[in-house]
Amino acid sequence: MDLGTVRAHSGPMETFETLVRAEFAPKNTFLNTASTGLLPARTVAALHGAVALRSEGRPLDPLFEDVELARASFARLAGVPAARVAAGPSVAAQTALVATALAPGSEVLTAEDDFTSVLNPFHVRGDLKVRAVPLERLAESVRPGTALVAVSAAQSADGRIADLPALREAARAHGARTYVDFSQAAGWLPVDADGYDFTVCTTFKWLLGPHGAAFLVVPEDFGGLTPLYAGWVAAERPWDSCYGPVQELAHSARRFDVSPALFTFAGVRHSLALIEELGVDAVHEHDLALAGRFRAGLAALEHEALPAPGSAIVSVPGLGHRQGELSRAGIEVSNRAGNLRASFHLYNTPADVDRLLDVLAG
């Protein structure tokens, strides 16, 4: 979906463009959503409103309601009931819950050089067997005795997309559980969290929310997780559980909640609503068209991006050193391990891609 092209049709395309233009007006060429997404105007307004509640001494009940509305919205995007979604502060914190549920000596299979938040909690336990293999060999590397496979749906460094259906089948064949991080996928790539044992996703990238929120999807039977962070909000009746030990944990995944960063969730609620209004399929089409345009332009400049079919993230070897130059020119990208990483999302246009290519051409 090309936002820079004169519309040949009315209806969905017009709605997409109208919504996007009403929410975003970046002052530079921002091609760095894989690091941090831009905040929609509605989210900024909600954050101001949340701060006003605190500053004016009004009841904070609406902010607690925002947590539940955000949970429900994410559940719809993930394709699971809201009762299976826990709200926490970060991917690393949620990974730690999964890591602590494993028996000593359990084997955890991971992809080489995956994002640290997906890996490190398993390593720091010290009594797990963590085995890393190339992403392309992940499914074939599941073996008898593998307890858990942990992987990002899309790799942060270069945008490669994991073969999740193959991984799911291999894990089932060997009795292994699956833990998938959708942080670099949810918002532009359709998510089917119901197909995996545990999934996690932060909200400040492609879901366009503020920092400080991540959702963990757990099985209906909670998958053996222990609610180690359980405070009063993890109770079935939170406001009756403020003092002394919690007598009854929530019957839903809310038992794994951490006391919420209320301002963050006030914003997340509205960011997720925008993604739902636009539709992930439409965002997917738009983002991949821009990534394809960039890849084609790179070829004309005799540069070749790392292979990442079907990804909105494009990583180019040998050009990472130009990140500072591009930033000074008003173009925001990332330098990841010496590679220039550009990531394209709903607020980007073909003109943004062409400007990046023009600067790279010198």
List b or e across 277-293, with b for residues whose CB sees 16 or more CB atoms inside 10 angstroms: ebebebbbebbbbbbeb
The answer to whether 141 and 174 have CB atoms below 8 angstroms apart is no
Distance, in Å, from the CA atom of 204 to the CA atom of 109, rounded to the nearest integer, reads 27
User: What is the distance between the alpha carbons of residues 219 and 241, in angstroms, rounded to a whole number?
Assistant: 25
In the structure encoding, which two tokens stand for residue 161, read together?
């997309």
Q: Which tokens sit at 204?
A: 């400040």
Compute the distance between CA of residue 120 and CA of residue 116 in angstroms, rounded to an integer: 6
Percentages helix, strand, coil for the chain (3-state, rounded to 5) are 45, 15, 40
d(CA 109, CA 129) in angstroms, rounded, equals 8
pLDDT digits (tens, 9 = 90+) for 294-339: 999 999 999 999 999 999 999 999 999 999 999 999 999 999 989 9
Type of residue found at 154: A
In angstroms, rounded to a whole number, what is the distance separating the alpha carbons of residues 271 and 274? 5
Domain positions in the chain: 12-30+279-360, 50-276
Domain 12-30+279-360 has CATH 3.40.50.2300: no
pLDDT band at residue 13 using 50, 70 and 90 as cut-offs: low
Equal CATH topology for 12-30+279-360 and 50-276: no
pLDDT tens profile 246-305: 999 999 999 999 999 999 999 999 999 999 999 999 999 999 999 999 999 999 999 999
Report whether pLDDT(10) > 90.
no
- Which residue reads 């790279």 in tokens? 360
Among the listed residues 51, 98, 124, 352, the one whose alpha carbon sits nearest the alpha carbon of residue 214: 98
Structure confidence at residue 337 (pLDDT): 84
Provide the whole-model pTM: 0.94
Any bridge partners for residue 217, and if so which? 85, 199
Which residues on adjacent β-strands are paired with residue 152?
Answer: 181
Architecture of domain 50-276: 3-Layer(aba) Sandwich (3.40)
List, for residues 134-159, the tens digit of each pLDDT value. Answer: 999 999 999 999 999 999 999 999 99
